Amino acid sequence: MLDLLKGPVLTVQDFFILTGTAVRNIFRSPHYSDDIVLQMDAIGVGSMPIVVLTGFFSGAVMALQMSRALAQYGQVGRTGMIVAISLVRELGPDLTALMVAGRTSSGIASELGSMKVTEQIDAMRALGTDPIQKLVTPRLVAAAVMLPLLTIIADFVGIFAGWVISVFFLNVTTRQYWSSAWRALVWNDVAQGLVKPFVFAFVVALIGCFYGLRTTGGTQGVGRSTTQAMVTASVLIFVLTYFITQIFLYASSAQM
């Protein structure tokens, strides 16, 4: 039994060591700012299209579904509120992170994994660079900046999509929609909506790096790491969103 647990415990421990080193490196020289910019472009700008699309359609589908439920109480006018709350608190951060995990975590894992199996990581160390400083830290910083921004974009696009549906299909007026959406949001929602993507950025960037750097066994191993990174990152996003929601609920009820 203890032997069975040893593997996973060591893996988690290694992950936290990588996290610690990557974070500490932010404050140590040398700083590879070129790599940060490059990664911001790859993670942020590269993910824009899928984030906009998922944001739009999740907002639209939320409006359609919720308006039916609200109609039973004669409250279709509150569609804006439901769309705004569910997007800003939950769907925006989660779906954005999932999309970026699918694209970025797996991309990072396969890139670093190929570098590992072709000895480029060893070559880096042999030639005077710390691979964590050069490869992991820039990806972490880029994700931590870009994921909250992408989430904000997804939130806005989704709320906009909800407006399109409401006005054209649900006979809700523009004014009704926006005022109920706007009034629904409180500081707690926005905080939650920004803390989540920030935490998910660590998951997306570091899980990708972690599995990439652990790759062994040639090209087959790269494929394995890529899948593992994507699956682990996605599952962690769901687990973490639950806990963050709990913490925020607890904090807001304690305030009252």
Partner 1 sequence: MADPAPPILRFENVSVVFDDVTALSKVSFEARQGESRVILGEAGSGKTVLLKAALGLVKPTSGKVYVFGRDLTTMRERELFEIRSKIGMLFQESALFDSLTIEENVAYPLQNQKSISCPPDQVRPRVEEALKFVELGGTLAKFPSELSGGMRRRAAIARTVVTNPPLTLYDSPTAGLDPITAYTIMELLIKARDVAQTTTLLVTYRYQDGNLVANFRYNSEQGRLERAHNGDLGNPRTTFMALRQGSLIFEGDQHSLEASADPYVNKFVKKHS
Q: Would you count residue 6 as binding partner 1 (CB under 8 A)?
A: no
Q: Which of 19, 75, 129, 227 binds partner 1 (CB under 8 A)?
A: 129
Q: Give the Cα-Cα-Cα angle 77, 81, 83 (nearest 5 degrees).
A: 105
Q: Would you count residue 122 as binding partner 1 (CB under 8 A)?
A: yes
Q: Which stretch binds partner 1 (CB under 8 A): 9-17, 69-77, 128-136, 243-251?
A: 128-136
**Torsion angle in degrees (nearest 10) through CA of 97, 91, 196, 246:** -130
Q: Which of 126, 175, 255, 256 binds partner 1 (CB under 8 A)?
A: 126
Q: Would you count residue 123 as binding partner 1 (CB under 8 A)?
A: yes
From the number of C-beta atoms within 10 Å of its C-beta (0-12, 13-18, 19+), residue 137 rates as buried
Q: Which stretch binds partner 1 (CB under 8 A): 91-99, 112-120, 169-177, 196-204?
A: 112-120
In whole angstroms, what is the distance from residue 40 CA to residue 49 CA? 15
Q: Would you count residue 11 as binding partner 1 (CB under 8 A)?
A: no
68 and 127 Cβ atoms separated by less than 8 Å = no
Q: How far is the CB of 116 from partner 1 (least distance, A)?
A: 11
Q: Would you count residue 120 as binding partner 1 (CB under 8 A)?
A: yes
Q: Would you count residue 10 as binding partner 1 (CB under 8 A)?
A: no
Q: How far is the CB of 114 from partner 1 (least distance, A)?
A: 8
Name the token pair of 72: 């039973």
DSSP output for 17-29: HHHHHHHHHTTSS
154 and 139 Cβ atoms separated by less than 8 Å = no
Q: Where does this chain bind partner 1 (CB under 8 A)? A: 114-115, 118-120, 122-130
